[in-house]
Structure 1
């Protein structure tokens, strides 16, 4: 991790306002319907995240939320976009299934011509992380391994399969995030022993996070090459990032974390050719 930090790169994101956010069911260990949520607080936190992105020079588009889909705010799960190609989502749970077509409709209406409705279960950027030369893809809780091959063929990018083993980290983006196109930060305990070996081989200079930072979704973070948007509670990880030269922007998203989401969950990156 001794390499200098690169310049920030302007990004284009898609987000969904948490107009109908709620915890009405439990499909991951973070969710407790009995705990309730403060929707207005969730909205304020989401707006602060959106405005931070814009303040950092990034574009943010918004998809219209749909009543009855409380998790639609987690836009990262809606698709995977690489080189202007849109690989759609097919959700594992019945509660979220309608989100897949809703997101694909948005892309088609926006003028994206290369879209794929998937045959296999996958939850978009939740389980696919795009780097310069490879797409890291997870299985174990949500996305089927068969979707990795489907995405590889459609996107014409090599895909490396990783196995998640800790149910707290049910999506790849809760356990790993890219610092640049060839650098990552991750929590080893979220992965099988074999996948840990793969990650050590691919990223020998990775930033290794602690369980404490992972447990507050500190790795559900967004980096543009220099600026890191990270959960405010992940203080140790933030300090280490600052020590490496990154500009760290802590955000309060504890209300959305009641459904198992953080900054990255709310953020779908639109990569490549745009209509």
Structure 2
């Protein structure tokens, strides 16, 4: 199978102020030491890889007191040049939404400040036909409806049931317009049935690869950047004609995020 890489535009945030000083997901442990300098080095390798692969990477300045701002994917959802801002469930991250909205507005994007909780591309993932929307731990159904109205894309709500996979992008990755990879155990029975109907040829992976954050990936249609520990996911992707590229983001995983969490895609108007 022949696959083609398509250049993308990303927004990223250097983890200058990264630390784990609170716990708002099962992966965070404030008692566990964090090496901020190593987190920066690992992040820079991801940034440089994107550039080497031919993608454009813009940067937003990190703000003191917002250690999770490095997880840029949560900052907004951008479709056809329209920016749906994020509204966070947890107070510790609340200031990130306005910071990302300000960045986009300063660059002329049409932006919407949401009324309801949605945590950006953490829970809103665009495929060729739908906007897949996670709920159950962070984003809420009212936020899904708001996304559909503003972005003009049909939204498919998916119920997450395992707290380890609290955002959709920890349980499911979009590989191409009509191809996804996911861990079935992260979803309710009804949501698994929906995914089977929408994506009968989807790649399904095992729990150990999901625990390695192997679904928190970024694909350009050919190259799939993912945590290097997720060897099972990488093997399955090779079988489908993709080119997996493993990265070590072990320090950033201590905050509950990996490749996709660090990467917000800017989909400009066409």
Instruction: Give TM-score, length-normalised by structure 2.
Output: 0.99
1:43 aligns with 2:35: no
Tell whether 2:226 aligns with 1:230: yes
CA contact (8 A) 2:3 2:241 kept: no
Find the residue that maps to 1:161 and give its secondary structure.
strand
> Residue 260 of structure 1 is aligned with which of 249, 253, 256?
256
Gaps of 5+ in 1: none
After superposition, give the CA deviation of every residue in 1:57-109 in whole Å (9 maximum; x if it has no partner). Answer: 00000000000000000000000000000000000000000000000000001
CA–CA distance in 2 between the matches of 1:51 and 1:89? 26
Q: Distance in 2 between matches of 1:149 and 1:94?
A: 23
Match of 1:207 in 2: 203
Matched residue, 1:191: 187
Check if 1:105 corresponds to 2:98.
Answer: no
Q: Could you tell me which of 26, 29, 42 is aligned with 2:23?
A: 26
For residues 145 and 217 of structure 1, the distance between their equivalents in structure 2, rounded to whole angstroms, comes to 25
Does the 8 Å CA contact 1:5/1:225 hold for their aligned counterparts?
no
Q: Distance in 2 between matches of 1:136 and 1:44?
A: 32
Cα pair 2:8 2:265 within 8 Å, conserved:
yes
Q: Matched residues in 2 for 1:92 and 1:222: separation?
A: 24
Given that 1:16 and 1:63 are in contact with CA atoms closer than 8 Å, whether structure 2 keeps it comes out as yes
SS in 2 for 1:36: coil
1:139 — aligned with what?
A: 135
Count the aligned residue pairs.
Answer: 270
3-state DSSP of counterpart to 2:65? coil
1:165 counterpart residue number: 161
The 8 Å contact of residues 5 and 244 in structure 1, kept in 2 or not, is answered as no
TM superposition shift of 1:6: 2.2
**Which of 51, 55, 66 matches 1:69?**
66
Equivalent residue for 1:7, pick from 1, 4, 24: 4
Query: What CA distance in whole angstroms lies between the structure 2 residues aligned with 1:149 and 1:241?
Result: 32
Q: Is residue 93 from structure 1 mapped to residue 90 from structure 2 by the alignment? A: yes
CA separation in 1, counterparts of 2:156 and 2:236? 27
* Structure 2: gaps of 5 or more residues: none
Q: Deviations over 1:139-167 (max 9, x none)?
A: 00000111111000001110000000000
Alpha-carbon separation, structure 2, partners of 1:173 and 1:188: 13
CA distance in 1, matches of 2:107, 2:39: 27
Match of 2:14 in 1: 17
Equivalent-residue separation in structure 1 for 2:172 and 2:202 (angstroms) = 10
CA distance in 1, matches of 2:248, 2:153: 34
- For the aligned residue pairs, the C-alpha RMSD in angstroms reads 0.8
Which aligned segments of 4 or more residues in structure 1 are displaced greater than 3 angstroms?
none
Distance 1:5 1:17 in 2: 34
SS of structure 1 residue aligned to 2:261: coil
Matching residue of 1:244: 240
User: Normalising to structure 1: TM-score of the pair?
Assistant: 0.97
**Contact 2:183-2:205 at 8 Å conserved across structures:** yes
